[in-house]
Amino acid sequence: MNDQPLWLTFIFAFLIMNVLLIGMAYMTYFERKMLGAMQDRMGPTRTGPKGLLQPIADGIKLLGKEDLIPRAADKWVFFFAPLIVFVTAIVGAAVIPFGGTINAFGRDLNLYITDLNVGALFVLAFSSIGVYGIILGAWASSNRYSLLGGLRAAAQVVSYEIILGLSLVGVFMLAGSLSLRDIMLEQQTNLELGPLTVKNWFILSQPLAFILFMIAAVAETNRAPFDLPEAESELVSGFHTEYSAFRFSFYFLGEYISMIVVSLFAATLFLGGPSGPGSSDHWYLGILYILIKAIVFLFFYIWLRATLPRFRYDQLMGLAWKVLLPLVILNIVVTAAIRLASDGLLF
């Protein structure tokens, strides 16, 4: 680890925050274009060439709207709840490593904002603090639909939180660390698979954990087919029914940014992060690889939304508690047993 001056870290953090915001704006564009293609229509086309200025136009439009606060609402909670969603989503990106320490522009630079020894827990913790924003906003609106949406969000997020956390235990066991940088470095070692030598990406040794993690991650970010807190058809948008103008858009900023952060997180944990052909020699290839991997996950999110109908609430809870929980505990026990057996310690 390279001790770089704080101001360099700040520049990097500032860059990452801006990339996340612009990424979020173009994620909405990407989603609308992809959904359009999957439903055999055009998506946005009018604003700018191929509709490319659409996200910017949307942002400006939302800034010019009236910010309504309902009479019955709890003003302060109503005011601050959307900020919790936005801030926790953006801070979660602080521990994602985009590479190791590189030598560029005549200096040693760290390609991560900070390397916490509990990095993976940090991301999990911040993704679940985000639900406070949803439930507080829903409660403060004092609207029946919002309250139901907020309660659903709370119950759903705590249920899938367990799956999300426990599915990563196998990864922590193999890496022997919670630091995302250590997990990334561990995956750059080689693994012998018969005649093949491949990089030790954890998706190879933890395929079940990867599937469970992806299901739980979709539920944790309240995306289709687990978007019951919003459920347009029954709850008229659920927890953000009463929100308008830019306060409303913070919920969407938060949702899309946490999708991007979770995708980067999954790429780091299971797909080797920035590792790929030539990435050890050229750091910019590493950044390109982790972004490509994250975009694949984001595409997967959109694909799910276009393909699957929404769950019923009892199905959603049944899936978490009756199917995924036994599987995730089985994965922990089997991983531990195999790990012990490979050291010759089991019997």
Q: Total binding residues for another protein by CB under 8 A?
A: 82
Residues 280-309: x where in contact with another protein by CB under 8 A, - otherwise, as a string: ------------------------------
CB 169 within 8 A of CB 269: no
- Among positions 132-151, residues that touch another protein (CB under 8 A) are 139, 141-145, 147-148, 151
| Amino acid present at 267 | A
Does 125 interact with another protein (rule: CB under 8 A)? Answer: no
- Among positions 163-192, residues that touch another protein (CB under 8 A) are 165-166, 169-170, 172-173, 176-179, 181-182
In the complex, least distance from residue 263 CB atom to another protein, rounded to whole angstroms: 19
Q: How far apart are CA 212 and CA 24, in angstroms?
A: 25
Can you read off the two tokens belonging to residue 86? 């936005």
Does 346 interact with another protein (rule: CB under 8 A)? Answer: yes
| Amino acid present at 150 | G
Q: Cβ closer to another protein: 35 or 125?
A: 125
Residues 5-44: x where in contact with another protein by CB under 8 A, - otherwise, as a string: -x--xx--xx--x---------------------------
Binding residue for another protein (CB under 8 A) from 78, 201, 226, 250?
250
- Among positions 85-104, residues that touch another protein (CB under 8 A) are 86-87, 90-91, 94
DSSP string, 14-74: HHHHHHHHHHHHHHHHHHHHHHHHHTTS--S-SSSGGGTTHHHHHHHHHHTS-----TTS-
CB 135 within 8 A of CB 150: yes
**Alpha carbon 204 to chain centroid, angstroms:** 21
Binding residue for another protein (CB under 8 A) from 28, 101, 114, 188?
114
Binding residue for another protein (CB under 8 A) from 8, 208, 336, 338?
336
Q: How far apart are CA 300 and CA 217, in angstroms?
A: 12
Q: Cβ closer to another protein: 152 or 293?
A: 152
Does 129 interact with another protein (rule: CB under 8 A)? Answer: no
Q: How far apart are CA 315 and CA 319, in angstroms?
A: 6
- Among positions 47-86, residues that touch another protein (CB under 8 A) are 62-72, 83, 86
**Alpha carbon 257 to chain centroid, angstroms:** 7
